[in-house]
Structure 1
Amino acid sequence: MYTVAVGSRLVSSIVKDKVRSNPLVRPIELITDLKENYGLDIPYHVAWYGKESATKDLHGNEELSYAHLPWYVNVLKASNVGSHCVLDCGEDGSRFQRIFICFKASIDGFRWCRPMLFIDGTFVTNKYKGTLLGATAKNGNKEVFPFAFAIVSGETVDNWRWFLQRISEVLVDEGRQLTFISDRHGAIIDAVRTVFPSSAHGFCLYHLKENLKKKYPHAVGSSFKDHILWLFCKLLYAPTVEEYQDSLKKLRDHGGSKIIDKFLADLPVQNFANAFFPGKRYGEVSNALSESFNSWVKDVRRLPIYEMIDTIRIKMMEMISRRKLASEKWSSVLCPVIEDELKNLAAKGRHWRICRASESIFEVHADLSVMVNLDERFCSCYQWQLLGFPCQHAIQVIQHSGLCLYNFVDEYYKADFYRATYATHIFPIPDIEKPPPGDVFLLPPHTRKPPGRPPTKRFKSSSETKRQVKCKRCGSCDRHNRRTCKVPI
């Protein structure tokens, strides 16, 4: 029998297609695949080096990828005039620190979106690690609109301040009052307070609910916790101070005043409660949009930095083109999602009694009696003011008066605003004139030691023989132990 020596280069040529289709494939999976399909029995380190070699052939050298960034930033500014790109190379200009990118298409498009930014960070999983910071908006059809992103060393106060400072430079002529939505990360809170002191900052409801749930021991039943979280949601959504106080009393009575008071002690009401929120967030109380952006870039976070940034650009370019073409086929004045939502609201109150008090003020007799003022765009249920489009009570009044419903919806939800959001394109960046990496000198960032104790034992390959477990009861090695032994003796 002959033994064939299999090296990492041979493994690289065999698994390249598999790595291309699934960049996150693990070396242990490659070992199994080569064993089953090719009859090759290779150790773990050969599979690991083979995958690394295949990744380098497909996407280039990660270290040299940083050398392309100065050229890329200059070409991006030339091909997409008006884009805001900042490459921070440290004091001596020789080593990458961080990069910020906001395309001209995003700057122009954001003017037609609601003045809200959802901000969050996610891990970069390539060789040099780091964090991808993102600021996203929501268009009139309630879809993700990527606004700006940055690659930094981590979610530190300095990096978040730097990121938001770059955003403030982009929006210096915006003239609108911004609202931020994020989790309760301390660095984000500090950065928003420092860079945008007059902007409202809302905390994500999902993270608040998770924090409140942890205040109760594991022994407490899930139904009790669900009830407490439901009461907390009523507290958050309460539109008036009186309703807030009433909801707070119920939450303290059911959840325990000591636990609830301790939880709310370091949670400013202006950062979560509708009754005290100083800005306008159009009913958005969750940072799920940032999570959608993180999922959107999940597959590109493991690429070398040059390829990562350019792949995000390509994905945004395709998104703009696709949504622009789709919106040109719309026949309605409103975005489809809002159109459907208004139809569902209109169907709820067709049999309500409506009384006119004056030319613009009405009383609607639903489950409760509410007042609607068309001139002020006001309803005493407060949903019209919070959402930016008529609530179910206002819809009935508008239709009863024979008025056009579209005239009472905020412009941000209309199809014309949506089309204007995607009127500016992102243009290609051909790399045919990209200089060789040796002509540009930019070193990769210093990496930090990962937390935790480093491993002292190597990972065994699947081909290595596993230790036989011998049962101390019957003495056999039939894959069971004394506790699970059922052999008669």
Structure 2
Amino acid sequence: MAHEMVYGTWESSVQKLPKYLGALQKYNPGTIVEWQHKARDTSTGAYVIGYVLWAFQPCIEGFQHCRNLISVDGTHLYTKYKHKMLIVATMDGNQQVLPLAFAIVDEESLLSWKWFLRQLSRHIIRGRRGICLISDRHAGITRAVRECLDFVPPNGVHRYCLRHVCSNFNSKYKNVVLKDHCWRAGSEYQIRKFNRTMEEIKKHSLEAFQWLDRIDKEKWTASHDGGWRCGILTTNMSECINGVLKGARRLPLTAIAEMTFQRSVHYFRERLLGCTGFELVHDPTIRISSRLGRNETTRIHDEMDWAQRRARQQAQQRNSSTQSDVPVPGSQD
């Protein structure tokens, strides 16, 4: 196939992945890579990859200046091997999504989520307290969170994505009106309005009311959240990164890792341009000011250029002082 000619096969990509991630660590100090291998392959003697996680140093440091909020999500890889990609993201003070870490696991299970959350605690959270983790209601996540102290009060909390709650609710009762009421109940910030909406659900269906009432209200409603969510009700942060990488999910592992690196670089470049107001172009001596609306040329000078400019300035100063000492014809003492 054409993409195999460009990116290689899945098997060859798996062999290249350790070398590629090692190069990222070498040339991007602070980048984190963690492996969890399965038993050796009896036929080849090589280790079989179970899980692998990577996080780029600028993303890790950037999280220290973001909200105490992270969103995790898992998605399928469209390959002959049924691996999953796990993504964690946060949001900065400018309402921009910041990717934090990526992982490839063989399946979404209690073991894989426990391993993933442990790596987040160790490399991303780093003892920071008051973290709110938003996820769907996957059984593996909910059980793994209970065993991770960073997301258990008083250190942190776990909250459910309201959109997933409404989706599960609608899958069971298949009623658009009830689904709308479910979303309204979860997104209300006042308890009295939440109670009123729940009463409307109860009038339509007692069974639907009881289904929602069995879910811990702190985990899915804004009215009982206590302010942990910072107004974020869904996992759209991590799903946004999933959407950006959708095309890469058909590629081999090394190509996926390379795509996450390129997208992360693009993120920081765009944020830099948004802060400085300058648009970078290929010529390193040229920059275009979007604020002033005109081209502004600058040259990158090394020490020799600086010395030459300084010498010219001193020569001009000597010439100007010499000319000022010459008497002007017709002048009087």
Same fold (TM over 0.5): yes
Aligned to 1:281: 229
What value does the CA root-mean-square deviation take over the aligned residues?
2.2
Aligned to 2:173: 216
SS of residue paired to 2:47: coil
| Contact map agreement 1:179 1:279 (CA 8 A) in 2 | no
Instruction: State the distance in 2 between where 1:286 and 1:56 align.
Output: 36
Higher relative contact order (CA 8 A, sep 6+): 1
Instruction: State the distance in 1 between where 2:106 and 2:186 align.
Output: 35
SS of residue paired to 2:158: strand
SS of residue paired to 2:33: strand
SS of residue paired to 2:85: strand
Shift of 1:55: 2.4
Instruction: State the distance in 2 between where 1:229 and 1:127 align.
Output: 36
Query: What do residues 453-480 of structure 1 show as CA deviations (whole Å, max 9, x unaligned)?
Result: xxxxxxxxxxxxxxxxxxxxxxxxxxxx
Aligned with residue 97 of structure 1, among 50, 53, 62: 50
| Contact map agreement 1:132 1:150 (CA 8 A) in 2 | yes
Query: What do residues 226-270 of structure 1 show as CA deviations (whole Å, max 9, x unaligned)?
Result: 3x33433342234344443343223312x22233113432x1111
Aligned to 1:270: 218
Instruction: State the distance in 1 between where 2:169 and 2:19 align.
Output: 48
In the alignment, structure 1 residue 261 sits paired with structure 2 residue 245: no
**CA, structure 1 residues 216+66, in 2 after alignment: closer, same or farther (shift >3 Å)?**
closer
Aligned with residue 77 of structure 1, among 1, 18, 25: 25
SS of residue paired to 2:74: strand
> What TM-score, normalized by structure 2, do the two folds share?
0.74
Q: How many residues align?
A: 269
Instruction: State the distance in 2 between where 1:172 and 1:109 align.
Output: 11
Instruction: State the distance in 2 between where 1:144 and 1:208 align.
Output: 22
Instruction: State the distance in 2 between where 1:252 and 1:163 align.
Output: 39
In the alignment, structure 1 residue 197 sits paired with structure 2 residue 197: no
Shift of 1:324: 0.8
Instruction: State the distance in 1 between where 2:235 and 2:112 align.
Output: 20
In the alignment, structure 1 residue 312 sits paired with structure 2 residue 260: yes
**CA, structure 1 residues 256+56, in 2 after alignment: closer, same or farther (shift >3 Å)?**
closer
**CA, structure 1 residues 249+56, in 2 after alignment: closer, same or farther (shift >3 Å)?**
closer
| Contact map agreement 1:181 1:204 (CA 8 A) in 2 | yes
Instruction: State the distance in 1 between where 2:99 and 2:129 align.
Output: 19
In the alignment, structure 1 residue 147 sits paired with structure 2 residue 100: yes
Aligned to 2:242: 294
> What TM-score, normalized by structure 1, do the two folds share?
0.52
Pairing of 1:17-32 with structure 2 (within 5 A)? none
SS of residue paired to 2:65: coil
Pairing of 1:321-340 with structure 2 (within 5 A)? 321-329=269-277
**CA, structure 1 residues 56+173, in 2 after alignment: closer, same or farther (shift >3 Å)?**
closer
Q: Which has the higher helix share?
A: 2
| Contact map agreement 1:70 1:87 (CA 8 A) in 2 | no
Shift of 1:156: 1.0
List runs of 5+ in structure 1 lacking aligned partners: 1-51, 331-489
SS of residue paired to 2:38: coil
Residue 197 of structure 1 aligns with an amino acid whose one-letter code is V
Pairing of 1:420-431 with structure 2 (within 5 A)? none
Query: What do residues 308-351 of structure 1 show as CA deviations (whole Å, max 9, x unaligned)?
Result: 10121112112211221122229xxxxxxxxxxxxxxxxxxxxx
| Contact map agreement 1:200 1:278 (CA 8 A) in 2 | no
Shift of 1:173: 3.2
Instruction: State the distance in 2 between where 1:134 and 1:113 align.
Output: 17
For structure 1, which segment, 241-250 or 290-299, has the greater mean C-alpha deviation from structure 2 after superposition? 241-250
Aligned with residue 131 of structure 2, among 170, 178, 181: 178
Shift of 1:278: 4.6
Aligned to 1:239: 189
Shift of 1:175: 2.2
Pairing of 1:6-45 with structure 2 (within 5 A)? none
Query: What do residues 182-204 of structure 1 show as CA deviations (whole Å, max 9, x unaligned)?
Result: 11111111122211323222212
Instruction: State the distance in 2 between where 1:216 and 1:129 align.
Output: 31
Q: State the identity as a percent.
A: 26
SS of residue paired to 1:154: coil
Aligned to 1:168: 121
Aligned to 2:81: 128
In the alignment, structure 1 residue 229 sits paired with structure 2 residue 209: no
| Contact map agreement 1:120 1:183 (CA 8 A) in 2 | yes
Instruction: State the distance in 2 between where 1:229 and 1:276 align.
Output: 20
